[in-house]
Structure 1
Amino acid sequence: MATHDREYVFFGDFNEVREEAERFGSLFNADEANVFIQFLGDTGLLDVPLGGRRFTWINKSVSKMSRIDRVLVSSNVQNWFMDLKLVVLTKGWSDHLPLIFHNAKLDFGPIPFKCFNSWLDNGDFISVVKEAVGSE
Structure 2
Amino acid sequence: MFLGDFNFYRYADSRNKSRPNFSGMQTFNDCINKQGLLETPLTGCRFTWSNMQKDPLLVQLDWCSTSANWISQYPNTKFTAMERFISDHIPCRIQIGTSIPRSHIFRLENFWTTLPGFLPMVESC
Normalised to the residue count of structure 2, the TM-score between the two structures is: 0.70
What amino acid does structure 2 have at the position aligned with 1:48?
Answer: T
Tell me which residue corresponds to 1:40: 32
- For residues 106 and 75 of structure 1, do their structure 2 counterparts lie closer, same or farther at Cα, with a shift above 3 Å needed? closer
Would the aligned equivalents of 2:81 and 2:93 in 1 still touch at CA under 8 Å?
A: yes
Q: Please give the residue correspondences for 1:116-131 in structure 2 after superposition, counting only pairs within 5 Å.
A: none
The answer on 1:53 being equivalent to 2:42 is no
4+ residue runs of structure 1 moved beyond 3 angstroms?
Answer: 103-110
Residues 64-106 of structure 1: CA deviation (Å, up to 9, x unaligned): 1111111222221111111211111111111110111113668
The residue that corresponds to 2:80 in the other structure is: 87
Distance change >3 Å, CA 106–CA 79, structure 1 → 2? closer
Give % identity.
Answer: 28
8 Å Cα contact 1:26-1:64 kept in structure 2: no
Residues of 2 paired with 1:107 and 1:94: CA distance?
A: 38
Cα RMSD of the aligned pairs, angstroms, is: 2.2
Decide whether the 8 Å contact of 1:56 with 1:69 is kept in 2: yes
Q: Could you list the per-position Cα deviations for residues 111-136 of structure 1 after superposition, in whole angstroms to 9, with x for gaps in the alignment? A: xxxxxxxxxxxxxxxxxxxxxxxxxx
Task: Check conservation: 1:25, 1:63, Cα contact below 8 A.
Answer: no
Q: Which residue of 2 aligns with 1:97?
A: 90
8 A Cα contact 1:56 1:66, kept in partner? yes
Structure 1: give runs of 5+ residues left out of the alignment. 1-8, 111-136
For residues 17-61 of structure 1, what are the alpha-carbon distances to aligned partners after superposition, in whole Å with 9 as ceiling and x for unaligned?
Answer: 111110113630122211211111101122211100101111212
Aligned pairs for 1:2-41 within 5 A: 9-25=1-17, 27-41=19-33
Q: Say if 1:49 and 1:84, in contact at 8 Å, map to a contact too.
A: no
Question: Which of 56, 60, 63 is the equivalent residue of 1:63?
Answer: 56
- Secondary structure of the 1:31 match is helix
Q: 1:73 aligns with which of 66, 73, 97?
A: 66
* Partner-residue secondary structure (3-state), 2:38: strand
Any unmatched runs of 5+ in structure 2? 104-125
1:57 and 1:44 mapped to 2: Cα distance?
26
